Amino acid sequence: MSNEINALFKPSDFKIDQTVLTDEEKWEKLHALPKGDSVQFIYSEDEDETQYYPLNMYGLYYLDIDGDDDLDLIYSGQNGWNNRMGTKVYELDNDVLKIKKELNGGIFSLEKTDNGVILKTVENPCCDSYTSKLYTYSISKSLQTTIEEVVVAIGMIRWFDADKIETPVKTYSNLTLLADRNDFRGVSPYFRDRTRELRDKMNKGEDIELASIPGSTKVQILAHKQKGDIHYELVLTEPFKAPENSLYEFLREETFRFIGWRIVE
């Protein structure tokens, strides 16, 4: 596990690499879309009419991804209820913007590299869900998109000052990840098939077990807290497959890095 994860939690380091254009210029370049197409995500569609979520002018990012000196497009906009966000990647090919990929979450950072673009998006909880995801994608010069990393957390993603994150990486055995009521702040969890015990624990301010990870797990410590005589560390794990019976939601990808509290023994 690389210590470069520090950068994930220092918002001041995040940047947006793009060609700066006026709103009028951004709008004009949308004329390169195929006739009848839109960067906006579809709200509803039938035989007579297609309705779209509102256009996010601040979510139009023009930059040369493939190195041909033409401005390709990455768009981030509303893609569901409660301001759920999505992202689209377009290539400008023969003066036509062609959709290459749809991605989860809204853009948090966009960095050009010698090999293409590193794109980070945040997928915040929607409706009665309570799990956030921070995606890291690489987009090659051939406009191929690969998921490099998915960080999963309870509640809204928190940001940390990299200078205060502890190093080196530590290894723990049989790690149990926990959350408490404060971690669910800002979301409205509904545990579906989970027992009432979970809600009772949250209402009482007791710990909720999110996942038990057998074997050895490498982690980096993000923060500390104290509850009575109990000391906790907030840890970010190395990537691994989702453990069985985890309370983290929507674990569709192959591997994840999890954020959760650990009791210091």
Average pLDDT rounded to a whole number, residues 160-181: 80
Euclidean distance between CA atoms 89 and 75, whole angstroms = 7
- What DSSP state is assigned to residue 201? H
Q: Which tens digits make up the pLDDT trace of 89-143? A: 999 999 999 999 999 999 988 999 999 999 999 998 887 788 899 999 999 999 9
- Structure confidence at residue 259 as a pLDDT band (50, 70, 90): very high
Q: Which amino acid is at 12?
A: S
Q: Note the Cα 127 to chain centre separation in Å.
A: 17
Supply the pLDDT for residue 118: 93
What are the boundaries of each domain within the chain?
Answer: 3-154, 162-263
Q: Note the Cα 172 to chain centre separation in Å.
A: 26
Here the tokens at position 44 are 């509803």
